[in-house]
Homo-oligomer: A and B are copies of this chain.
Amino acid sequence: MKNRIEIVEDNDVVRDGLQLLINSMSDHTVVGAYISCEQALKNLDHDMPEVILMDLDLPGMSGIEGIQRIKKRSPHIHIIVITVHEDSEMVFEALCAGASGYITKNANHSRLLDAIDEVQTGGAPMSSKIARMVVGSFQKNQNSPLTSRETEVLELLAKGKSYTVIADELFIHKETVKSHIKNIYFKLQVNTKADALEIARKNKLI
């Protein structure tokens, strides 16, 4: 039984190249190659792919929305994004939408074929820059203007806790919490909770 691969890519040259490359492997077969998510979705039940290689710049429906729709209909299908985009927004949008892997187009052919196997054996193939970006998203800004206590308070605030609850959890007085928040607002140059959280999250202070 061959691995059923599908391709969604609007550039003819790239699409045909991918198809040839994959079909050249004895245990893989391309069951569909389309230029848009609309087409891919229409044929999804017939093609029954296990893995979809997908570009993000597509005519009509965006790749991101395509990923969402495909994953909603067939959660078991693994989608690997193949794109030129390396900007963090695209990467995280694609992963949030349900992509299992993210390869940039400068990857060589063997890396690409490896990715298909990797995604089917429980992995998440990524270009190394992308992997670093993803891992980096977990790490806090080392140059935070906030003190560790202030950060602690802001994190509890981010969890939706009230001043009173925060005070209890940190074994300090509610007035102290207020004082910390006052200083946080001043340092971040904001005057509401929502703005503070936005700045803090954007700058990875929490």
Instruction: State how many copies of this chain the complex holds.
Output: 2
B-facing residues in A87-115 (Cβ within 8 Å): 92, 95-96, 98-101
CB–CB B123/A128 < 8 A: yes
CB–CB B123/A131 < 8 A: yes
A19–B165 Cα gap in the complex (Å)?
50
Q: What 0/1 readout, one digit per residue, does chain A (127-161) give for beta carbons within 8 Å of chain B?
A: 01101101110111010000000000000011111
CB–CB B157/A160 < 8 A: yes
Residue in chain B with minimal CB distance to A166: B194
Does chain B have a CB within 8 A of A126? yes
Does chain B have a CB within 8 A of A26? no
A128–B98 Cα gap in the complex (Å)?
17
Q: Which 9 A-B residue pairings sit nearest by Cβ, starting from the closest?
A: A123-B128, A124-B131, A124-B135, A160-B193, A95-B138, A160-B194, A124-B132, A160-B197, A161-B194
